[in-house]
Chains A and B, each alone.
Chain A
């Protein structure tokens, strides 16, 4: 167990990444009750946007200097795609059967993935992503990679900014109102269409940040990366209580921790030697999710609300 601090760090870092993506799920769901399965692809497109920006710069540009441009570009790509999807794929389906947008989302997810695969140069394979120079940063009990620094700084900043936005700005409060009762919000003069677009856009922007964090942490982006990340992020959002933005981050961290600890320690439990390790970690993560939902059906931070069906 003497690598426990290291494994905790591994789990938290992974979880923060899940959490950033989960925000997009939870915000969209909170307002339109739509499971946006294409959100993972929005994340992936952010990664390719950032890579494109880096490749525009002269070869050998230091990553640190390139970062602002990459963030802008990643956000621009993700937000544009998300807004386009909202406008042309989801909005026409308001008032349609509840499950129809789910199929649209699956279609969108396939289409976006394949569009990158087919049209982005060399994207049939993983594309290397620039990494920070230098070795790991040793913090005594554990060490983190240089690439992880971006996540360590970006994740809390994003959460603080989002918290401020939602509670202090006019649009943010309108967003809360819409999520609680869209019809009444409309009567109060809130332009719900605009609020929904804003929710999509903010979620996409966070996904773009997450994509860069993913890129510098793992040194690559690929057209499939949105699928698993999206699935995990969705799990995280539900775990934390879907609709709650802090819940999304907490859910992400818990999920990340669960995966790391399950990989590392379950096999040491007597009688479980074959049921641990990387092979079973996703199973344990889902078991945890199911247990949490059975005890707290509204998720960790979710509020108990009547089923809106």
Chain B
């Protein structure tokens, strides 16, 4: 394992390349085959892995992983017709996919062993799967590295291992007719929607973990292969198509659901994500740290609740929904300006504590205004319950409707309504980001003194960002009030076990990627789904969530979807790492 003059680096396992590729291929096919066998004898293990000839549950994940491994292995070998799969790295995607298949399969096999109590519960299919996926991994590790070594001299085993996952960036793609490019974008979003829906719909924890494992390895594999970059280039040329495709995919989500259970999660994720995007204006674009942002959501929700015609509202006026939305947004706007005007002159972290304080003041005030310890406005801790369902143009959101042969339940209706507001917020965000104002915000964020020197009125622009962010959150709040039926102060704490709350909103923005559109959306989806899906861990659910936050920041400090510029800033090499967590839903820089 010495290196020669061109600094090639030996593979992790010293095997001839052809033998390695053959091993990987055969292993992958064997793994694939094993999923058609029974892995265990009893249906007690969730997903019923006892059926021969029809993979189910975790087997499907293994099957997908093995299939992709085989495909990429063939493509990497230069099989014609598959070259489009690997414009970037040839062998590192195979390695990652093999690793993903291996962990998923072994996780499944171990889960069967542990949950059913002993190795005897494994049928031959399970054994074959375990061995075959190991063989695939061995073969994949024997494939040569994609990029030459950076330093001459012998490399340690670990260096070779990490090096094996590096890949070169893809070259420029040959131009395709634009209809083909658009089709590719549409297909990519189709796949994205499928993956997202699959993740949300996982019915038991084992499947969700297997899913996370496979995605965790599969997404970087796709990135290493250079497909992300290719897709990124396409989406950059067809921006509007991309945005439309993203929303069509999001719009299609409730139509893929057979009951309302996951639509509820979908609606809540959308609310959370939309508010996070609003916060992104404040934090991501203007660089103002706001720790009390959820208060604006609360202002909107309380305004809508008071004007909703709820029997518990202290104001006997019922406004039509559009008016309530405007009122909620306006109330938030006023609240934002009132808070912002005096405090935005403060610097950095002082602003953080002041916004935190205002967030708490809002919550405490709502809690107190019940006639006993304040004016009688909000019913205090009881909040405003029994908010009626919306009815727009004769369409009652509370009742199931049959649309295009699919029954859409209450939460699907609200999901679609919320999606409409998400589109508004995304549009506002994109418009302002690309405008003079947006550039001024970025200038202030990067160096306020320099920005002032260039003639930017920093205070006014910061106030604008703050007020805009508040308005967007207030708007989302008006829908939230109707979705949850009830508005209580306890929903708007600084930190709580479930989103949305100020801390989680901030986490969604930073984790997803500040200053991008898709970052907070993906960050919010992850932050919502991970705790929800980890429920089976009961006692350790939040503990694992906390650890996950630490690890995500440790390995991805610039966020999952990073601003291109930021990414160059925070990774030394700065050129090879494509976004890891991108699950194809949407692209950086959208």
Residue A211, interface by CB 8 Å: no
Given contacts A99-B283, A104-B549, A106-B503, contact A89 B354 (CB under 8 A): no
**Residues of A204-246 whose CB lies within 8 A of B:** 227, 231, 234-235, 238, 242
Partner pick for A289 among B353, B367, B374, CB 8 A cutoff:
B353
- Which one of B357, B495, B503, B557 contacts A97 once the chains associate, using CB atoms below 8 Å? B557
Contact residues, A77-132 vs B (CB, 8 A): 89, 92-93, 95-97, 99-104, 106-115, 118
Interface segment among A62-70, A171-179, A180-188, A274-282: the answer is A274-282
- For B352, the chain A residues whose CB sits under 8 A away are 35
What are the residues of chain A within 8 A of B365 when measuring CB–CB? 283
Interface pair B550/A89, CB less than 8 Å apart: yes
Smallest distance from the beta carbon of A88 to chain B beta carbons, Å? 8
Contacts of B506 in A (CB 8 A): 99, 102-103, 106
Stretch at the interface among B259-267, B468-476, B539-547: B539-547
Whole-angstrom distance between the Cβ of B343 and the nearest chain A Cβ: 7
In the bound complex, do residue A280 and residue B549 qualify as a contact, i.e. CB atoms below 8 Å apart?
A: no
Contacting residue for A111 out of B350, B514, B546, B557, CB 8 A: B546
Q: Which residue of A lies closest to B547 (CB)?
A: A111
Confirm or deny: A307 has a beta carbon within 8 angstroms of a beta carbon on chain B: yes
A277 contact from B373, B542, B559, Cβ within 8 A: B373
B550 near A115 with CB under 8 A, answer no
B539 touches A118 (CB 8 A): yes
Distance (whole angstroms) from the CB of B295 to the closest CB of chain A? 12
In the complex, B423 has a CB within 8 A of chain A: no
**Cα distance A215–B581 when bound, in Å?**
44
Interface size on A, residues (CB 8 A): 50
> Across the interface, do B374 and A274 meet the contact criterion of CB distance under 8 Å?
yes
Closest to B541 in A: A114
Contact B510 A297 (CB under 8 A): no
Partner of B540 from the list A99, A103, A104, A118 (CB cut-off 8 Å) is A118
CB under 8 Å from chain A, chain B span 117-153 = none
Q: Are B364 and A282 in contact (CB under 8 A)?
A: yes
Which residues of A are found within 8 Å of B70, using beta-carbon distances? none
Q: How far is the CB of B535 from chain A (nearest CB, A)?
A: 14
Q: Which residue of B289, B368, B373 is within 8 Å of A99 (Cβ)?
A: B289
A158 at the interface (CB under 8 A from B): no
Q: Does A150 make an interface contact (CB < 8 A)? A: no
- Closest chain A residue, CB of each to CB of B556: A100
CA distance A104 to B289 in the complex (A): 15
Q: How far apart sit A92 and B557, CA to CA, in the bound complex (Å)?
A: 10
Contact A96 B546 (CB under 8 A): no
CA of A290 to CA of B347, assembled, Å: 13
Write out, one digit per residue, whether chain B residues 152-173 have a CB within 8 A of any chain A CB (1) or not (0). Answer: 0000000000000000000000
Question: With A89-B554, A282-B364, A293-B350 in contact, do A97 and B566 touch (Cβ < 8 Å)?
Answer: yes
| Partner pick for B553 among A107, A238, A289, CB 8 A cutoff | A107
Give Cα A227–Cα B364 distance, bound, in whole angstroms: 17
Beyond A99-B514, A100-B510, A297-B346, whether A114 also contacts B549 by CB under 8 A is: no
A282 to B345, CA, bound (A): 23
Residue pair B510, A290 in contact (C-beta under 8 Å): no
Tell yes or no: B455 within 8 A of A by CB: no
Within 8 A of B (CB), among A251-287: 274-275, 277, 279-280, 282-283, 286-287
In the bound complex, residues from chain A placing their C-beta under 8 Å from that of B465 are: none
A294 within 8 A of B: yes
Given the complex, which residues of B lie within 8 Å of A114, measured CB to CB? Answer: 540, 542-543, 546
B301-357, CB < 8 A from A: 342-343, 345-350, 352-354, 356-357
Q: Are A96 and B549 in contact (CB under 8 A)?
A: no
Q: Complex Cα distance A190/B548, Å? A: 34
- One digit per residue, 1 when the CB lies within 8 angstroms of any chain A CB and 0 when it does not, for chain B 552-585 equals 0110011100000010001000000000000000
B543 touches A107 (CB 8 A): no
Q: B549 and A106: CB pair below 8 A?
A: yes
Q: A59 contacts the other chain (Cβ, under 8 Å)?
A: no
Closest to A33 in B: B349
Q: Which of B354-390 contact A (CB under 8 A)?
A: 354, 356-358, 360-361, 364-365, 367-368, 372-375
Which B-chain residue is minimally distant from A302 (CB atoms)? B350
A284 to chain B, nearest CB (A): 9
A309 near B: Cβ within 8 Å?
yes
Contacts of A307 in B (CB 8 A): 347-348, 448
Pairwise interchain contact A35-B349, C-beta atoms closer than 8 A? yes
Point out the residues of chain B lying under 8 angstroms from A97, CB to CB: 510, 514, 557-559, 566, 570
27 contacting pairs across A/B (C-beta < 8 A): A92-B554, A93-B557, A97-B510, A99-B506, A99-B514, A101-B553, A104-B549, A107-B507, A107-B548, A107-B549, A108-B546, A110-B549, A111-B547, A113-B542, A113-B546, A114-B540, A115-B543, A242-B349, A277-B373, A280-B368, A282-B364, A286-B360, A286-B361, A293-B343, A294-B342, A294-B346, A297-B346
Of all A-B residue pairs in the complex, the 5 with the closest CB atoms, nearest first, are A107-B549, A111-B546, A96-B557, A110-B546, A286-B357
| A242-B350, A286-B361, A309-B348 given; 13 more Cβ-contact pairs under 8 Å | A33-B349, A89-B550, A99-B510, A99-B514, A102-B289, A103-B553, A107-B548, A107-B549, A108-B546, A274-B373, A280-B373, A294-B346, A309-B447
A residues contacting B by CB (< 8 A) are 29, 33, 35, 89, 92-93, 95-97, 99-104, 106-115, 118, 227, 231, 234-235, 238, 242, 274-275, 277, 279-280, 282-283, 286-287, 289-290, 293-294, 297, 299, 307-309
